[in-house]
Amino acid sequence: MRMDICLKGILEAVSAMLLAFVLYPAQSVAGAGPSEEAPAAPEEYPPDANVVQVDFAVKIDPPLVKKFSQYNSGLVTMYRYRRDIGKLAELAAESFRIDLSIGKRDSGWKEEIVTGSLDDLTYNFTEIDELSTMLNRIGVLPYWSWCYVPEPLQQKPGAWKEAPVSLAKWQEILRSFARHFREAGIRIGYHEVYNEPDLNMFATFPWDTYLQMYKYGVQGIRAGDPDAVVGGPAAAIVGYPHLSRFLDFIQEEQLPLDFFSFHSYGDAYLPKIKVVQDMLQKRPYYNTTEIHLNEFNPVLGRPGDTELVRRYVIGVDILDAIEALLEFSDLTQIHWAQFMDASSGSDVIGIVDYEGYERAAFNVFKIYARMPVDRVKVTGQEAVRAMASTDGHRASVVLWNRSDSDQTQSVELKGIPFSRGDMRVFRVDSAHSSYGDFVDGELVPEEEMSGVDTSGLSWTGTIPPNGVVYIEVEDGTGLSELTPVTVGKVVRKYHYFPDRTKHNYAVFSERTWIAYLGMRDEESAFSLVGVEAEALPAKVKVSFVVDGKVRRLDANSLLGVRVDYQVGGSYRKAVLFHDGLYDPVGEGQIPWGTRTAPDQAVQIPETAGEGIIDLAGYAPENWTGRVIISFLMRNTGANTRAKILIRQCD
């Protein structure tokens, strides 16, 4: 069977090469002459061409932040993780969620994670430690969904979805895991209590029983690791009654909920997000709670869905979803379902197939991962949609054809921030980069030009129905703001959403140590994000890159970086470092750290847009070395944005 597939792939590849020769000749790139002389004026565009203009000099919102991660069911074996886990790094995934399937004998674990008896619990850490460590090494956070009911807690053998016989032992098990990872130096990014407890397929107990499982579970996790990020309920059904009861219960019990998680399959994901936003907005107790859509696939549920997810046509759905989900600043994590085929015969919906081959969906996520975060202006979109971005070293634009016919497309690339560069054009369609369509699944450039003059640069070609084209121009330095950077050891992040009806945003990338803040269309709003870290250098370099007319609207107008210092087990001192936009009369408290106004405010002396923060110099006595660094932008006027980079001093 595999030989038949290969033969068909060869024939289709040859046909695709001939077709590409006809449709996409080298002269489809204007301004690409390798000489230092100015290129000839570009030829007229084909009469039926739609022209998209990209202006890399004009920033727009929201930025292309990398909040799109991956999910796997608990059926995947360690053999396949060892083979394929490194592929996650190519997707810039922040985290990787697995419903761990504890107590469910058909899981992918070689040995049950928890065995023994109620009086003598036994833990098998070997495989979960190995997987967690592999993820840590590639910069991806384990996101463990603690489900289902462990064998020693089952009411009878095989009753993994019935209520545990002892909530105290449920708490003890989660405490033991959290403490184990902390003591082993393995960072777990997110702890989620259970998976889909509102679905009979995974839970036959009443909703009130789950509320108690959540209570005992988060108390156990925090007892084992006080720094743990905890949440739930991983809801399958997004509706008011049971989820409102969940939120009311947590507030009544004064429990932590760092993130609210739910799932969505099919096209109706946007209304579900708004339902969750509305529930949280009505309850200020949850102003620091992130929203996680941690099982998501908009195609599943359509006719022929399992075939669609394996073929190139899913690419336009992925890009549509990315563009739509970027609009929700409090939606901080999205996990695609799924990263890998669950098995060879069922749940064959992975972006990586059972044998480790990368499907078209993988390549579309890889394209998005390659795009810089700073988004730029695109005009002229019709049947073909587009997003574009740059970081000064790479200029990127992705186009996708949402129509049911071939589209002759021209793209004008204006304002590229370097004069010469190397240009590559990639395709994902039935003839390119789609293993599920029996062609080579590797994402490789279909066109390449070196040393092109970027002034007047354009591209023209045909994009087939549901096809994707990605154009990338680089300056040849090898530099990129997407390159991972280490400044200190990250403990966790903090978020603040005092008004979820507003469109402002605040994002911190712990992969690159860059914060992105923006007001969008809001004159007044508070954009705030923080990172708790330790093992930092004595001094750090801070750079403010500001776009738009930042101005003082009132006493609360502010742009700065705040450092809260830990002494003993609590935060005792806070220093605000600002670039001049600050008024001591303004409200200074934030919902973490000292939770008060800063003890001291310092204007950072800048040289060429860079300043130095002397962390050790401002530290109080008996400082533990741990800080929370917060990035603040408040009431600076509409269409203003700031990028703040933290770096080690040379």
Decide: helix, strand or coil at residue 232.
Answer: strand
Q: Give pLDDT tens digits for 278-311.
A: 999 999 999 999 999 999 999 998 988 988 999 9
Highest mean pLDDT among 8-17, 451-460, 598-607: 451-460
Question: In this predicted model, what pLDDT tens digit does every residue of 178-205 receive, in sequence order?
Answer: 999 999 999 999 999 999 999 999 999 9
Cα dist. 138→29, 98, 135, 253, 495 in Å?
Answer: 37, 17, 5, 37, 24
In this predicted model, what pLDDT tens digit does every residue of 409-453 receive, in sequence order?
999 999 999 999 999 999 999 999 999 998 888 999 999 999 999
Residue 639 pLDDT exceeds 90? yes
The answer to whether residues 457 and 32 touch, using CB atoms and an 8 Å cutoff, is yes
Two tokens, residue 292: 């996680």
How long, in residues, is the chain? 650
Instruction: Give yes or no: residues 421 and 570 share one domain.
Output: no
Q: Report the predicted TM-score, pTM, of the whole model to 2 decimal places.
A: 0.93
Q: Give yes or no for a contact between 520 and 504, defined as CB atoms under 8 angstroms apart.
A: yes
Confidence band for 30, pLDDT divided at 50, 70 and 90? low
- Residue 462 domain-assigned? yes
Amino acid in the structure at residue 585: V
- Give the mean pLDDT of 331-358: 92
Give me the pLDDT at residue 13, please: 37
Q: How confident is the model at residue 332 (pLDDT cuts 50, 70, 90)?
A: very high
Q: Distance between CA atoms of 350 and 357, rounded to whole angstroms?
A: 10
d(C-alpha 517, C-alpha 176), whole Å = 38
- Tell me if 357 is assigned to some domain: no
DSSP string, 166-203: -HHHHHHHHHHHHHHHHHHTPPPSEEEE-S-TTSTTT-
Does residue 483 form part of some domain? Answer: no
The answer to whether residue 8 is domain-embedded is yes
Using pLDDT thresholds of 50, 70 and 90, give the confidence band for residue 345: confident
pLDDT score, position 358: 96
What CATH number corresponds to the domain at position 115? Answer: 3.20.20.80
Cβ(602)–Cβ(578) below 8 Å: yes
Q: Per the domain annotation, does 230 fall within a domain?
A: yes
Q: Please count the structural domains in the chain.
A: 3
User: 319, 350, 381: which is the final residue of a domain?
Assistant: 350
**What per-residue confidence (pLDDT) applies to 579?**
86
* Alpha-carbon distance values, 367 to 90, 304, 339, 471 (Å): 9, 25, 16, 10
Residues 497 and 638 occupy one common structural domain: yes
Task: Tell me the pLDDT tens digit for each residue of 39-81.
Answer: 333 456 777 779 999 999 999 999 999 999 999 999 999 999 9
Report pLDDT for 31: 60
State the DSSP H helix or E strand holding residue 3, giving kind and residue range, or none if neither. helix 2-23
Q: What pLDDT, on the 0 to 100 scale, is given for residue 489?
A: 98
Q: Which two structure tokens, joined as six digits, stand for 374?
A: 């700073």
Write out 385-452 in H/E/C secondary structure.
EEEEEECCCEEEEEEEECCCCCEEEEEEEECCCCCEEEEEEEEEECCECCHHHCCCCCCCCCEEEEEE
Same structural domain, 317 and 211: yes
Q: Are residues 48 and 96 in the same domain?
A: no
Confidence of residue 28 (pLDDT cuts 50, 70, 90): low
Model pLDDT, residue 607: 57
**CA 291/CA 280 separation, integer angstroms:** 9
Q: What are phi and psi of 224, to 5 degrees?
A: -80, -30
Q: What is the C-alpha separation between 51 and 399, in angstroms, rounded? A: 12
User: What angle is formed at CA 432 by the lines to CA 431 and CA 434, rounded to 5 degrees?
Assistant: 95
**Do 638 and 617 share a domain, yes or no?**
yes
Helix H or strand E segment including 317:
helix 314-325
Is a pLDDT exceeding 70 seen at residue 37? no
Tell whether 261 is covered by a domain.
Answer: yes
Structure tokens at 521: 């269309």
123 preceded by a cis bond (ω within 30 of 0): no
Phi-psi bin for 392: left (phi > 0), alpha (psi -120 to 50), beta? Answer: left
Q: Which of 471, 478, 462 is nearest to 416 (CA)?
A: 471
What is the mean pLDDT of the segment spanning 360-367? 98
57 occurs within a structural domain: yes
- Say if residue 584 is in the same domain as residue 567: yes
Residue 636: which domain range?
489-648
Torsion of CA 598, 601, 605, 608, to 10 degrees: 40
Range with the poorest average pLDDT among 26-35, 210-219, 259-268, 485-494: 26-35
In this structure, the number of other CB atoms found within 10 A of the CB of residue 485 comes to 16
Separation between Cα atoms, residue 105 and residue 396, nearest integer Å: 46
Q: What is the pLDDT of residue 2?
A: 30
CA atoms within 13 A on the CB side of 423: 26
Q: What is the pLDDT of residue 282?
A: 97
Residues 227 and 338 in one domain: yes
Round to whole Å and give the CA distance between 359 and 439.
Answer: 10
pLDDT(164) > 80: yes
516-529 residue pLDDT tens: 999 999 999 999 99
Same domain, 577 and 604: yes
CA-to-CA distance for 418 and 132, rounded, in angstroms?
41
Percent share of the chain, pLDDT over 70: 93
The pLDDT tens digits for 231-249 are: 999 999 998 899 999 999 9
* pLDDT given for residue 608 in this prediction: 57
Task: Tell whether 211 and 265 lie within a shared domain.
Answer: yes
In a domain, 225, yes or no: yes
The sign one gets for the Cα dihedral 282, 284, 287, 290 is negative
Residue-averaged pLDDT of the chain: 92
Same domain for 138 and 213, yes or no, is yes
Beta bridge partners of 262: 235, 293
Longest Cα–Cα distance of the chain, Å, equals 82
Mean pLDDT, residues 124-140 taken together:
97
Give the sheet arrangement for strand 600-603, strand by strand: 489-495, 526-534, 623-634, 558-567, 570-578, 600-603
The tens digit of pLDDT for each residue in 81-111 reads 999 999 999 999 999 999 999 999 889 999 9
Query: Which pair of structure tokens corresponds to residue 414?
Result: 């204006």
C-alpha dist (Å) from residue 513 to 486, 510, 547, 559: 7, 5, 19, 17
Tokens of 396: 């990127």
Do 313 and 411 have their domain in common? no
pLDDT over 70 (residue 556): yes
* Domain end residue (candidates: 474, 499, 514): 474
Tell me: do 142 and 165 sit in the same domain: yes
CATH number of domain containing 412: 2.60.40.1180
Judge contact between 522 and 591, C-beta under 8 A. no
Cα–Cα distance, 166 to 158 (Å, whole number): 16
Provide the pLDDT for residue 346: 72
